[in-house]
Amino acid sequence: MFSVTCFNIMIVVLIFNVVVIIAHPNILLIIVDDLRTTLGCYGDANAYTPNIDALAEDGIVFTEAFAQQALCAPSRNSFLTSRRPDTLRLYDFYSYWRDVVGNYTTLPEHLKNNGYTTMSIGKVFHPGISSNGSDDSPYSWTEKPFHPYTDRYKNAPVCRMVPQSKVAMNLICPVRISTMPNKTLPDLETLREARRFINEHKKNVNPFFLAVGFQKPHIPLKYPERYLKYHPIRKFKMPERYIWPDNVNNVAYNPWTDLRWRKDVAKLKLKFPWERIPEWTLSDRLKFLILCSYCLYFSLYFQLYCPLMVFLFSEKFAKQIIQSYYAAVSYIDNMIGKLIYQLHVSMIRENTIVILTSDHGWALGEHAVWSKYSNFDVAVHVPLIISIPIVTFEHNKSMRSNALHSKKHCRVTDAIVELVDIFPTIANLAGVPIPICQVINNTNAHLKNIFIQNKIPNPCSEGITLLPLIKSTLQCQSIPWKKAAFSQYPRPEIQPMLHPNSDKPRLKDINIMGYTLKTSDYRYTAWIPFVHTTCKPDWDVIIAEELYDHKTDRAEEFNIAALPEMLKTKKYLRVLLKDGWRNALPRY
């Protein structure tokens, strides 16, 4: 407890030294659904994201940021309350924390209680039971949350693979906006409403907290077709190992069930769960057979060439998925550029902090897997960019000498951070810091009863503020930071299943929990029995383990948990994982 207390004292000091420069800043939180680090500012050469890259130039880029669960509702509830999934007891979509575990204060609620006007536009909380069917209103929001009217058409049969084909509910869905219902798309409506809000509140006395949630690149991959011009399919390659690893237990596999019912995927008639998404379509196969028949007819040379033709054709369909994901990201990048431009037009960019992140990542064929629903790095690794006027950039050049960021190259940190750190960081930036949550043990068990009875709010955090890290990064210095980031994912059984759904099991069906941690050098995952009635894991039994050396294998293609020489490392990481997030905090 001493280390935690000292850490909180240090934060308060930092606020007075740094953040007081901006009195009552506006705060814009941008949440992009299912966004992995496919961004130019994260070194992805295939990305076309000029607006997000420009934001990164004015901010701090956290290259090692991680979600606490790779599923929308648990992740969003986690970082908006700064409580981890095991605290909220939400691993699916079907419980509301205020009814189930306690009246935990949210980030927007905390700011609202301290004089902020708070507004939710688009997908911020996951809609439905997990946010009480109201986006946690009236607790979190000053104004009624906005959802696009065209959300109702998100799975409408409007996709065409080729101009002559019938429309369908496809996974891959580039469209012409003029042919869409209401001649628009949900994210365009979200952008319009967010710009309206900024314009109307630019002169308000009270600062605002505006949370904007863009839906793409969440599937279906529906986006204006013009963004394909930035992503010719020839520039994409399949993962080097488009195959499920032999030495990884089946419990780690997610069978991408939400892709299988899409019309273009369903037509492929894939055998559940292991048959890979074919890298070519049925029409491609027909074209190939015709071409191959010519090969066989004309010469032996072409007979020898035919196996190569198989390989060339075999990458098309899977590459189209990758291509459309990148195109959807470019579409959202354009939305973000227009949103930030509205801050400039309204002349409030110099007083508005901008944070950009995602609820989790998304696999693009790694391990022959698509979508999220796992503990692999591609599922939990997310972008995080924080741009703070005066602190990370100067709007007025005359203020250049006062900014912390005088050394332009000190804008990126590879320190381990988590999405639960966002709430305490924003709270500190707003001048209303919150403490780290107490450990509820026998000496303060009476507090637990109070929380469960929902008698008092509980503004505390299971993350830590990032301000010390921001300051040290901008000064080109390093400080001790978290030892690890913690994530988890549930499963009903070891083998992939449709019923109950391995990807999205309900709480009553969860019998196994995969706990994972990411350190600077390794990812270690333990799959252990889980009692869904008490939400307690049984650490005495290890069903399966994974260990990946990120120094040489960031793609996590080689599980080295069984190697004798890794036994000491594995034991250390297992203890660190079991001891939990508190024991991984920096010591001050």
Query: Active-site residue numbers?
Result: 72, 126
C-alpha span between 52 and 382 (Å, rounded): 14
Residue 248: count other Cβ atoms within 10 Å of its Cβ. Answer: 21
C-alpha span between 355 and 427 (Å, rounded): 13
- Three-class DSSP category at 121: strand
- Provide CB contacts within 8 A for 374, sequence distance 6+: 70, 252, 253, 254, 363, 489
**Amino acid at residue number 174:** P
C-alpha span between 567 and 245 (Å, rounded): 21
- Three-class DSSP category at 392: coil
End-to-end CA distance of the chain: 11
User: b vs e for 316-335, b when ≥16 Cβ sit within 10 Å of the residue's Cβ?
Assistant: bbbbbbbbbbbbbbbbbbbb
C-alpha span between 489 and 546 (Å, rounded): 14
Residue 253: count other Cβ atoms within 10 Å of its Cβ. Answer: 24
C-alpha span between 78 and 155 (Å, rounded): 27
C-alpha span between 374 and 488 (Å, rounded): 8
- Provide CB contacts within 8 A for 6, sequence distance 6+: 588
The structure tokens listed for 484 are: 């690890």
- Could you tell me how far CA 538 lies from the centroid of its own chain? 28
